[in-house]
Chain A
């Protein structure tokens, strides 16, 4: 696996890699460092990449920087878990708290395209009530965006990614038909379906961001099942092969392997651009607006590291909330052995979903909800789960691993409560760029535990109803949300409903760190929908001369 520091930038000299062709290039507009562009965006993942495309298409000049490399999936992605570690943010971060979270490959990507390059493509919408969870459900915070507005943005994103989903989705208000049809269920998804049928709850083919039929230069998914370590066929619809090509075509510049270390501010306290390192050089990009989209750890880290006399506690941090209320999803799972061979390595890992417990308010005595999906972990991934949750190693572990092809599992994406004690801070130690390491503190609360316990019991029943034996369970977390929440007032949030900093008028945030609450579904669709919303708002504000 190549180390990031040994790679050289590819998006240079007026061209960027063509993600759809071996050795291919597409033309790319370039801007000088001294040229003051309309927007410079830090991070090109679900939030940043989407925003870059939308802003460039609206006619703004855009330079988007990413600390990670610019891959061509067809030639760069191996069918090898160890090698593909190259997709993750592997720089050290310190993890503390009562329930310290695993970072790296567990929740952080580092590539042009961000974490979507290795996401598992589960493409779900929030439940409408979650945008007002304080008011309607009694916990967390309300979002400063109306759910109907989000519903429009979801539809746009789903069309941009040609989500393959069911004709009718069993939960929540009516949504339009998904642009592509649902995928065939693999055996592991059928296990989930059987369990639900037995217990009398609804289930659905999972809306998935990989195409069930050809789409332009993306071929039909070949069901190779390596999605989590990068899709080598381009069937997966990540930011890398959807919004990034759009951004380039619309005249944005994407700078790969460019690590932003600081957002610079002028004497008036407004942002003037960013300092970044590329190819061993320290450079500055001037910009009228700076957007930070580095995800829930890097975004707060960058803002905290950008303190200046005008912003002594870090940029955009007059509320003291930068880095606060970091959330994860609990990722508890139940696994079982089946007599027949499931061979869960085939197909996208989560082809079926049950969102029952996101919607059934009356039947539960905890806040929040969870969805659970069918599973298909790759060998090293599953070996680690076995070792960790069963506390085994040696011949016993090899024997249990020999049942790999007989296993099926159900795993939740469980909502956790936003707690301000869960946070990102700067440590004393610095990294190779001279930026202080992130120190991440995480502890579950009682409600989080109740939710996890409830899910474990339910999934146990479901899995054994479907024929699973020798059940065992595992814990863990997935995804990051929050850390710079959006809200209604400068005291209670870092940015407003447009993603704009209360403190610095030309500083924006556009990524998963905006989430005031976590919801019980995977976050990327909501992040992209927010990006669409923010882009539209920026267009509107520009039209009103209010930027």
Chain B
């Protein structure tokens, strides 16, 4: 994936509000931890980790960033702690097993289609392969009874997006107001913003 993302709020950074009343103490604590203590690999093995990283690069490509938002480490951390999300859809095993199985299946898909590891595929092929799964065209044989599309959308993609868009860099890029306690907002109408929000969308100016 080479075409890149053109940010509508290029100079906006919600972290600049750090010392303002938009951030309360617990928000600072939570974000400090997220930004400074990126977890180390514990649960996944090295191969799985690299595979997951390659997948994440396709799900949320960040070619323009020198310091991309880390995603894999937080998935690994959640698996280490055996976190669950409250729903286990039929056919999908418990979280840890589901991820292992899903990664193995994607590796198998790559092997079957291209005779090589997913990680070594070029970006275009990687993306196409993931699209097939997303569109429901995975090869059931590789998935050992696990519904591939459901795993892809409801487990994998959801978790990746939850991690990415919880990151200040991702929130800045879409012009989200970001943390807002105790200070919230005053100006509620269309095209009206408070001075502590992102300035108007570049495309609208």
Using CB atoms and an 8 Å cutoff, list the residues of chain A in contact with chain B. Answer: 3, 74-83, 85, 88-97, 100-106, 108, 184-187, 190, 221-226, 232-233, 338-343, 345-347, 378-380, 383-384, 387-388, 391, 393-395, 397-399, 401-402, 404-406
Chain B interface residue count, CB cutoff 8 Å, equals 74
How does the 8 Å CB contact mask read for B127-142 relative to A, with 1 for contact and 0 for none? 1001000110000000
Q: By the criterion CB–CB under 8 Å, are B184 and A395 in contact?
A: no
Q: By the criterion CB–CB under 8 Å, are B89 and A394 in contact?
A: no
Beyond A79-B23, A383-B161, A387-B157, whether A92 also contacts B94 by CB under 8 A is yes
Q: By the criterion CB–CB under 8 Å, are A3 and B83 in contact?
A: yes
Q: By the criterion CB–CB under 8 Å, are A341 and B190 in contact?
A: yes
B18 at the interface (CB under 8 A from A): no
Q: By the criterion CB–CB under 8 Å, are B86 and A88 in contact?
A: yes
A-B contact pairs, 17 of them (CB 8 A): A79-B180, A80-B179, A97-B90, A223-B188, A225-B177, A233-B181, A343-B175, A345-B177, A346-B184, A380-B161, A388-B153, A388-B158, A391-B135, A393-B157, A397-B161, A402-B8, A405-B176
Which of A74, A222, A394, A397 gathers the greatest number of chain B CB atoms within 10 Å?
A394
B25 at the interface (CB under 8 A from A): yes
Query: CA separation between A233 and B24, bound complex, in Å?
Result: 11
Query: CA separation between A425 and B131, bound complex, in Å?
Result: 36
Residues B1-25 near A (CB distance < 8 A): 1, 3-8, 22-25
Q: Which stretch, B39-47, B53-61, B107-115, touches the partner chain A?
A: B53-61
- By a CB distance below 8 angstroms, the chain A residues around B31 are 80
Using CB atoms and an 8 Å cutoff, list the residues of chain B in contact with chain A. Answer: 1, 3-8, 22-27, 29-31, 34, 58-61, 81, 83-90, 94-95, 127, 130, 134-135, 153-154, 157-158, 161-166, 170-171, 173-193, 197-198, 200-201, 204
Interface of B (DSSP majority class): loop
- By a CB distance below 8 angstroms, the chain A residues around B183 are 222, 224
Q: By the criterion CB–CB under 8 Å, are A341 and B201 in contact?
A: yes
Which of B3, B31, B153, B185 gathers the greatest number of chain A CB atoms within 10 Å?
B185
Interface of A (DSSP majority class): loop
Q: By the criterion CB–CB under 8 Å, are A78 and B26 in contact?
A: yes
Minimum distance in angstroms from B48 CB to a CB of chain A: 20
Beyond A80-B27, A81-B166, A187-B188, whether A394 also contacts B58 by CB under 8 A is yes
Q: By the criterion CB–CB under 8 Å, are A395 and B4 in contact?
A: yes
List the count of A-B residue pairs having beta carbons below 8 Å apart: 217
Q: By the criterion CB–CB under 8 Å, are B90 and A94 in contact?
A: yes
- By a CB distance below 8 angstroms, the chain B residues around A401 are 165, 174
Beyond A232-B24, A405-B201, whether A185 also contacts B188 by CB under 8 A is yes
Q: By the criterion CB–CB under 8 Å, are B85 and A105 in contact?
A: yes
- By a CB distance below 8 angstroms, the chain B residues around A76 are 26
Query: CA separation between A406 and B8, bound complex, in Å?
Result: 11
Q: By the criterion CB–CB under 8 Å, are A395 and B88 in contact?
A: no
- By a CB distance below 8 angstroms, the chain A residues around B8 are 402, 405
- By a CB distance below 8 angstroms, the chain B residues around A404 are 174-176
Q: By the criterion CB–CB under 8 Å, are A387 and B161 in contact?
A: yes
Q: By the criterion CB–CB under 8 Å, are B180 and A225 in contact?
A: yes
> Quick one: closest A residue to B26, CB to CB?
A78
> Quick one: closest B residue to A338, CB to CB?
B190
- By a CB distance below 8 angstroms, the chain B residues around A378 are 176
Q: By the criterion CB–CB under 8 Å, are A95 and B87 in contact?
A: yes
Query: CA separation between A93 and B34, bound complex, in Å?
Result: 28
Beyond A346-B188, A398-B60, whether A233 also contacts B177 by CB under 8 A is no
